[in-house]
A and B are shown apart, each in its own frame.
Chain A
């Protein structure tokens, strides 16, 4: 299957700062990538669809100004959590090709 690399795997940041998470498809070109969020002991919820060269499509209830998504190339999508707060602490995971997932990023906001 395809290889998706996500970085960093863990990050701790202070409240009010911004954090960028990268998602790379290593062996294929992905015009579409997806960003999910997983709360502790919960399932994965789709946050947004990242479209190469155009604006991301956000799911209902997801603040687009807080979770900035950029998909500037066919192999890279980034998620930036802006002005992070403790309630943004979560496990964020990306996918490419629909079914192939990165390793996930554990974000802790202190």
Chain B
């Protein structure tokens, strides 16, 4: 069975501060990993993905994530958040290309001025 855990339900961060969202997964092999962002009432926007190779992945909007096999983690980071980064963030796992995604519970990010 595969699963994804996002330990933090809510995170509040000041504008300009750094942000790190945690994601841990359980899977029998190296999975494909994704981070998505969802604004209220909107669909999912893909921020970045990891398939193989370099374990530090760069995405859109200044986000990056690091795959750590030893920790079964794929944490998302941004050095300096903007008010527009306030949204829900989902980490997801895929066992093979084209397969279904298994999502974590999501982390809601609030940005203080």
Contacts and interface: CB of A to CB of B under 8 A. Distances in A.
A93 B102 CA distance: 14
B71 to A, nearest CB: 22
Interface residues of B, number: 23
A106 B41 CA distance: 8
B42 A103 contact: yes
B103 A43 contact: yes
A61 interface: no
B36 to A, nearest CB: 8
Nearest to B9: A41
Given A32-B98, A43-B103, A97-B98, A102 B43 contact: yes
Contacts of B99: 98
B110 interface: no
Interface of B: 32, 34, 36, 41-44, 46, 49, 90, 92, 94, 97-106, 108
Interface of A: 1, 6, 32, 34, 41-46, 49, 93, 95, 97-104, 106
